[in-house]
Amino acid sequence: MDRIMIPASITLESCVLNRRYNWKSNPKKYTVYKIKSKRAFVRFSCKNLAYKLSRLKFDKRRIDVNFIDDKNLILQRAGGGKFSMQGYSGTHPGIQFVVNSALPEKLKRKFGTKSKSYPINIFIFPEEWKELNLSPADFLIEVERESKSLLNAALRKGFTINKISKGRGFDLSLINQNNCELILAISSHVASSKSRSKEKTIQKILMDISKMLPYMDKNKKAIPVVITQPIEFEGSWSFTTQKYLDFYKDRFNFKFITTEFKKGWEDIVIGELSKI
């Protein structure tokens, strides 16, 4: 795994900077004053990295930033880099770094003079941070437990990963042993009754499909897979659900894998993903 793509945001905001003026008449005397300014910074979430960064010395957090275009940038660790990553491990853990001097002209024009935020993709090289023992699963949202456990199991079975979604379009992207890109949505819902669980699971399946379709339109070779708990049970019935799912199977090549999400479910799902 050379690098992985992580969704992030870039923000331009107003700020106040402290400046220091040294008196010519008295070199030991100085005056601190404030000026209004603008600050552009990139922020992404990774709880484990944020926690460990906050304990690294300044020179160990130095990076170089290279904008590919106004929507993508490459982040590389560099001892003499111009920028520094800052980790925040509080209620909303995250990493951010100021990029004023690296901001491309196109992005400056896009921002204008108002405070704004835009989505952006970061390409990061995990090997450069190997002493922190980072895992690709660390970059997933903390609440996505099924995605994390499935990703860790898949990597042990020889799958690879080159992008993190964080719920933007799909839950997980994997490349199997056949070099097929699989985009996965994990749909499950436990309610007060089987009928209610079925209803909510179907709603989530259809919502996940609608989120995946725009990505598939731009990435024709990607294979969409929906992993879901069984929606049929004894005494259940539906006039339309199977027609909906069959349509997406036939028209968009969707694959559907069912599991009870009990102990060992990851290995069963990975076995099915390997066959694609």
Co-location of 74 and 144 in the same domain: no
Q: ∠ CA 251-257-1 to the nearest 5 degrees? A: 95
Co-location of 45 and 95 in the same domain: yes
For residue 30, pLDDT over 80 is answered with yes
Domain that holds residue 185: 136-274
Tell me which of 132, 157, 188 is where a domain ends. Answer: 132
Co-location of 66 and 175 in the same domain: no
Co-location of 86 and 103 in the same domain: yes
Co-location of 108 and 18 in the same domain: yes
pLDDT value, residue 239 = 59
Q: What pTM did the predictor assign?
A: 0.78
pLDDT value, residue 190 = 64
The rounded distance, in Å, linking the Cα atoms of 229 and 257 is 8
Query: What would the mean pLDDT of 12-17 be, rounded to a whole number?
Result: 79
State both tokens at 130: 């190997």
Tell me which of 77, 102, 132 is where a domain ends. Answer: 132
Co-location of 43 and 87 in the same domain: yes
pLDDT value, residue 192 = 61
Q: Judge contact between 239 and 224, C-beta under 8 A.
A: no
Environment class of 153 (CB within 10 Å of its CB; exposed 0-12, middle 13-18, buried 19+): middle
Residue with the larger pLDDT of the pair 25 and 175: 175
> How many folded domains does the chain comprise?
2
Co-location of 63 and 100 in the same domain: yes
Co-location of 264 and 143 in the same domain: yes
Co-location of 146 and 267 in the same domain: yes
Co-location of 54 and 173 in the same domain: no
The rounded distance, in Å, linking the Cα atoms of 122 and 65 is 10
209-241 pLDDT, tens digit per residue, is: 999 999 988 888 999 999 988 876 555 556 577
For residue 197, pLDDT over 80 is answered with no
Q: What share of the chain in percent tops pLDDT 90?
A: 32
Co-location of 152 and 219 in the same domain: yes
Q: Judge contact between 262 and 220, C-beta under 8 A.
A: no
pLDDT value, residue 13 = 82
Query: What would the mean pLDDT of 114-140 be, rounded to a whole number?
Result: 87
55-110 pLDDT, tens digit per residue, is: 888 888 999 999 999 899 999 988 778 899 988 877 778 899 999 888 888 888 88
Co-location of 127 and 196 in the same domain: no
Query: What would the mean pLDDT of 100-129 be, rounded to a whole number?
Result: 85
For residue 198, pLDDT over 70 is answered with yes
Tell me which of 109, 132, 155 is where a domain ends. Answer: 132
Place of tokens 């901001």: 103
pLDDT value, residue 193 = 65
pLDDT value, residue 81 = 83
